[in-house]
Chain A
Amino acid sequence: MALFASRKSGLTWAVHLTVVLLVALWVFPTFGLLVSSFRTSDQISSSGWWKALSTQETQNSPVRIAGEEDEVDGKFVIRGELFPTSDTELSNWGTSSLKPNAYEPGEVADLGDGNTLTVDNRGAFVLSGPASFAEQRSPRVFTTAATPPEFTLQNYETVLFSSRGGEGVGQAFINTLTVSIPATVIPILIAAFAAYALAWMRFPGRALLIAAVVGLLVVPLQLALIPLLTLHNQVGIGKSYLGIWLAHTGFGLPLAIYLLRNYMVGLPRDIIENARVDGATDFQIFTRIVLPLSFPALASFAIFQFLWTWNDLLVALVFLGASDDKLVLTGRLVNLMGSRGGDWEILATSAFVSIAVPLMVFFAMQRYLVRGLLAGSVK
């Protein structure tokens, strides 16, 4: 029995460990981007982000010792600074390119012929020897600088507010918001009325319509691009915000109707029948009873639609266009990946700006999102 218990707790530990590993694996990529967005471009290109918390060591270019010679007690001495202009913290130094890290700061190096050299951690050196250095080749000093971990908000400032550096990420953020909010709000009401009719009103062809909605749910919207763009151009909407709002409304409706209908069908029949008996019209039943009770489903759909419109690239490229003043965040990111693919500080920060809003929505309203997913697929 004891054996059984220990095996059982061993299994529990294995489960805990596996889940920790899986969670780490899933969070790790996003976390890397987040950390990178707080590092300077030098840091990003000189070390992986997972080393961001450790002290960075970088090799400085060698400096040849030079300076005024003093004669002290029969010895010739040169004192000076290796880096008179910059503030550097040294971790190691050396006098040969083969062993650039031979000495600790403060250690005295024997250079032969009675010459000695010492360098402290700020780069101040003392070279001394029995003969004048004027006729000798003075030694070169190799140094390794230690940079303590450092994080900066500079990237966010550049990306969001500087007009050149961020290449319009701030503008793209506003554009995305302008696209996604109306595109989230408008379909809800249209869908709610339709869903009520499909759930609680009797009329010929109802089953057929429900089947049609289910079918349209999976129609790839790739099919819609050219015909609708042509239509928009003919009507005079062209590539504009109005066009993309309408497009997102149309594409979002099947899911909205499907989700809301599934939810409304599940509402207690008694309440609705009683209201009918009391003489309430369908319009009253809908606005006073069904709509308030359907709040969770409305919230679910609103989150779906918001995430989808915020994250969408294809519909925005086609119906809003790729011109600079109308580009949304996703489109902007794709452009940055092409034009500044090596500038990870800009890319990582811009990506995080675009991810931040959906992530906040996600964590704040996860409950409704899960509920919506369950209503939308497990049937």
Chain B
Amino acid sequence: MNPALQGLITIILGVGGCVGYFYFSNIVLDRFIFPATGPQAGRNINRANQVRPWLFLAPAMLALGIYLAYPVVATLWLSVTDRDLGGAFVGLANYRQMVSEPKFWEALQNNILWLIFVPAMATVMGLIIAQLTDRIWWGSIAKSLIFMPMAISFVGASVIWKLIYDTRPLGSEQIGVLNALYLYFGGDAPQTWLTIPFWNSFFLMIVLIWIQTGFAMVILSAALRGIPEETIEAAVIDGANPLQIFFKIKVPQIMGTIVVVWTTITIVVLKVFDIVYAMTNGQWETQVLANYMYGKLFVGIGDWGVGSASAIVILLLVSPILVWNVYSASKETK
């Protein structure tokens, strides 16, 4: 069957199924299980209302359970078993093997570089742009254009930036902007930017910063606008200059939002896979954890044990943010 047709049928079945499920399960509950008639009508209504939330929640809980909660447990289990031994328990052997691989340490080291550099740059750039664009009449157009890379896939962005980093042999015309500029300003020979160890990671990070700055800008811009006018007016009357107002009045007031932006980008960085996979595939010392894990799981026969172990490492790195988010969300719902 044509996949497009299959897709259409799935939409109809999926949406129709959902509507049907919610509609009929409610009817069954109200008419047959706990009918609101007869001697126990009042008690039945109460009982039905106790059950109903779970009817509403059931499909979502099922999907979340199967697709997100179960895999965490299953991956944890896979990381302490060996596929070649028929899934026998091997304790920490996979972790031991992982930490003995230099590629793992390279990936971890690069990931830490990414974690420091990308959220910091994206947040700071986003904050500066948000502040500048709020002051000019065509600010919303400017914002929209800087926000645009958000819509571009990591792979598309990789192609875009690969053109910028392109290298042609010495003597022929350079078609990559970076090399053209490098030669124009007196560089002696064109560089293959993505193969220079250590610095090439930064060339990859720029791609993600380019994408994420727009996100930071949008959120921080809204936060800046939410600052009460009086505080700024008071500062102006006291003779503060624009820089002082920005750093001493505005930034402290939006510190909470800056932290949220920072952590959100941190999570994106920890999961970053596509950019490295598409541009260098971890060669020339650009490996990161997510790509290391993908390589372990799906290249060749697949080492599920070590791959799962590295997935757990990513989870561990995310977990402080996870705990913090859960903590602040539950504080807010109380």
Which residues in A have some Cβ–Cβ distance to B below 8 Å? 11-12, 15-16, 18-19, 22-23, 26-30, 32-33, 36, 44-50, 174-175, 177-178, 181-182, 185-187, 189-191, 193-194, 196-198, 201-203, 206-207, 209-228, 231, 241-242, 245-247, 249-251, 253-254, 257, 281-283, 286, 307, 310-314, 317-318, 329-330, 333-334, 337, 341, 344, 347-348, 350-351, 354-355, 358-359, 361-363, 366, 369-370, 373-374, 377-379
A337 adjacent to B64 (CB under 8 Å): no
Could you tell me the distance in whole angstroms from the C-beta of A203 to the nearest C-beta in chain B? 4
* Residue of A46, A220, A254, A358 touching B311 (CB-CB under 8 A): A220
Q: Indicate if the CB atoms of A47 and B154 lie closer than 8 Å.
A: no
Q: Which residues from A are CB-within-8-Å of B333?
A: 207, 210
| Nearest CB in chain B: distance from A195 CB, A | 8
In the bound assembly, the distance between CA atoms of A210 and B139 in angstroms comes to 37
Please tell me if the beta carbons of B78 and A209 are within 8 angstroms of each other in the complex: no
Asked whether A337 lies within 8 Å of B278 as measured between CB atoms, the reply is yes
Flag whether B255 is at the interface (Cβ < 8 A).
no
Chain A residues in 8 Å Cβ range of B234: none
A193-B22 CB under 8 A given contacts A23-B145, A227-B78, A313-B274: yes
| A48 close to B329 (CB less than 8 A) | no
Beta-carbon contacts under 8 Å, B241-274 to A: 242, 257, 260-261, 264, 267, 270-271, 273-274
Q: In the complex, which residues of chain A have a beta carbon less than 8 angstroms from the beta carbon of B277?
A: 313, 334
Chain B: minimal CB distance from A140 (Å): 22
Which A residues are in CB contact (< 8 Å) with B192? none
B136-A344 in contact (CB<8A) = no
Say yes or no: A16 contacts B159, CB within 8 Å.
Answer: no
B residues near A (Cβ < 8 Å) are: 3-4, 6-7, 10-11, 14-15, 18-19, 22-23, 26, 30, 49-50, 52-54, 56-57, 59-61, 63-64, 66-72, 74-75, 78, 129, 132-133, 135-136, 139, 142, 144-156, 158-164, 166, 168, 173-177, 180, 210, 213-215, 218-219, 222-223, 242, 257, 260-261, 264, 267, 270-271, 273-274, 277-279, 290, 293-294, 297-298, 304, 307-308, 311-312, 314-315, 318, 321-322, 325-326, 328-330, 332-334
Query: Looking at B72, B160, B164, B308, which has the most chain A CB atoms within 10 Å of its CB?
Result: B160
Least CB distance from B145 to A in Å reads 5
Question: Measured between alpha carbons, how far is A356 from B8 in the docked complex, in Å?
Answer: 23
If A223-B311, A249-B63, A314-B274 touch, whether A23 touches B177 (CB-CB below 8 Å) is: no
Does B273 lie within 8 Å of A313, measured CB to CB? yes
CB of B66 within 8 A of CB of A231, answer yes
Question: Distance (Å) between the CB of A7 and the closest chain B CB?
Answer: 11
- Quick one: given A222-B314, A241-B6, are A330 and B56 in contact (CB under 8 Å)? no
Q: Find out whether the CB atom of A253 lies under 8 angstroms from the CB atom of B63.
A: yes
A-B contact sample (7 more), CB < 8 A, given A12-B136, A313-B273, A362-B148: A48-B176, A178-B6, A222-B314, A330-B154, A355-B151, A363-B148, A379-B329
Residues on A with C-beta less than 8 A from B155 are 311, 313, 330, 333-334, 354
Residues of B within 8 A of A330 (CB): 153-156, 274
A44 to B174, CA, bound (A): 10
20 intermolecular pairs with C-beta atoms under 8 Å apart: A18-B132, A22-B132, A46-B173, A178-B6, A194-B59, A209-B61, A218-B321, A219-B68, A222-B294, A225-B311, A227-B71, A253-B68, A311-B152, A311-B153, A311-B156, A313-B153, A313-B277, A317-B298, A330-B154, A354-B153
Closest to B10 in A: A182
Q: Within the assembled complex, what's the spacing in Å between the Cα atoms of A50 and B67?
A: 47
Contact A218 B325 (CB under 8 A): yes
Chain B residues with CB under 8 A of A363: 144, 148
- Residues on the B chain within 8 Å of A373, using CB: 215, 218-219
Contacts of B22 in A (CB 8 A): 193, 283
Cross-chain contact B146 with A374 (CB below 8 angstroms): no
Residues in A neighbouring B177, C-beta threshold 8 A? 28, 32, 48, 50
Ordered nearest first, which 3 A-B pairs have the shortest CB separation?
A250-B67, A311-B153, A227-B74
Taking a contact as CB atoms under 8 Å apart, the answer to whether B318 and A219 are in contact is yes
Name which residue of chain B comes closest to A258, CB basis.
B329
Rounded to whole Å, the gap between the CB of A311 and the closest CB of chain B is 3
Q: How far is the CB of B150 from chain A (nearest CB, A)?
A: 7
Task: Given A182-B14, A219-B315, verify A333-B156 contact (CB < 8 Å).
Answer: yes
Task: Report yes or no: A282 in contact with B52, Cβ–Cβ below 8 A.
Answer: yes
B63 touches A250 (CB 8 A): yes
